[in-house]
Chain A
Amino acid sequence: MQDEKLKIGPHEFSSRFMIGTGKYDTFPLMKEALEASGSEIVTVAVRRVNLDNPKEESLLDYIPKNMTLLPNTAGCATVDEAVRVAHMARAAGMTKLLKLEVINDPETLLPDMVGTIEATKILVEEGFVVMPYMMQDPVSASRLVDAGAAAVMPLASPIGSGQGFIDFSFIKLIVKRFKGVVPIVVDAGLGAPSDAALAMEIGADAVLINTAVAKAKDPVLMARAMKAGVEAGRMAYLAGRIPRVEYATPSSPTQGVVK
């Protein structure tokens, strides 16, 4: 299929399925799922080394070499924490990409948009390629774009919930306003390939999925299923779906019917 590349900052990607590395039962299983996904962008988190178990295996040894790392600031509740973790992620010397999360509501894990917008401004000025996790809110999206975000990552539903889309109206509005301005990456809450396909059908540029793959009974098979869902949705978007109408229209000719 002929398709344009997904452009984020200085990077270009063919795959529109970004995948997370959290929650897999084992690293080898994760590696197999990452390979099956066909993804080119893979998220990672920053955490303290366990001083009592310093020899634990490195996640990086199980990430295919052709994949681009997208470090996140998961766990950061304030602007200062997010900026600090961003600096740590950059110091690894692998990427300036950053999935920005500022979250201080443990029950919902919904993003703090005031903090997210402020942190985006700071980190963009410091040269990061910032991809902020955000509410389905066109007003916040506008603030983030003004702040220099390289992409916006509106949620479908709360992180890890697998609920798919709770509502379409605002995400459609974000797509309408920002399509072609910055890539729109639907992040969080996608539970099944149909959710991923729907995201792509309404014009999202990409999706990011972690839990729905990692916690599937067969994560490798689910990674393949999600890949197919993303591709199907993308093709449908490019092909152009028919408009919805209220009543039936016949598929077969109404002339020459045998009586």
Chain B
Amino acid sequence: MTQIGGITITVNGETRAVPAGLSVNGLLDHFGIKRATAIVEHNREVLDRKLFDDTLVQHGDTLEIVRFVGGG
């Protein structure tokens, strides 16, 4: 379901409605995710952190937002 003035994207395998016009950093803020430790893949391409501000999230985009967790 697309919100009024919003777009639909796939994040971590889930379909989510988010406001239109967000940058990747804006999207992280929207979800309340700490920018400093988030790693983002945008439409199957890993995104350099320096591009988080300038990359716009568009309708139909697929994103993976990951971070380091405990592992062996």
Using a CB–CB cutoff of 8 Å, the interface residues on chain A facing chain B are: 20-24, 30, 43-49, 51, 54-55, 58-60, 69, 71-72, 74, 84, 87-93, 159-160, 188, 208, 210-211
Asked if A59 and B49 sit within 8 Å, CB to CB, the answer is no
- Give the distance in Å from the alpha carbon of A43 to the alpha carbon of B70 in the complex: 8
Residue pairs across A and B with Cβ atoms less than 8 A apart, 19 shown, are A21-B71, A24-B70, A30-B70, A43-B71, A44-B70, A45-B72, A46-B66, A46-B69, A49-B31, A49-B38, A54-B31, A54-B32, A58-B68, A84-B41, A88-B41, A89-B39, A91-B40, A92-B68, A211-B72
Asked if B72 and A208 sit within 8 Å, CB to CB, the answer is yes
Asked if B68 and A59 sit within 8 Å, CB to CB, the answer is yes
**Contact count band on B:** 20 to 34
Using a CB–CB cutoff of 8 Å, the interface residues on chain B facing chain A are: 11-14, 16, 31-34, 37-41, 44, 46-49, 64-72
Asked if A46 and B68 sit within 8 Å, CB to CB, the answer is yes
Interface centre among B11, B38, B72 (most CB of A within 10 A): B72
Asked if A92 and B71 sit within 8 Å, CB to CB, the answer is no
Partner of B71, one of A45, A48, A93: A45
Asked if B49 and A93 sit within 8 Å, CB to CB, the answer is yes
Asked if A58 and B66 sit within 8 Å, CB to CB, the answer is no
Give B58 Cβ to nearest chain A Cβ, in Å.
19
Asked if A74 and B64 sit within 8 Å, CB to CB, the answer is no
Asked if B70 and A22 sit within 8 Å, CB to CB, the answer is yes
Given A49-B12, A55-B32, A87-B46, is A74 in contact with B72 using a C-beta cutoff of 8 Å?
Answer: yes
Chain B residues within 8 Å of A89, by CB: 39, 68
Chain A residues within 8 Å of B14, by CB: 51
Chain A residues within 8 Å of B72, by CB: 20-23, 43, 45, 72, 74, 159-160, 188, 208, 210-211
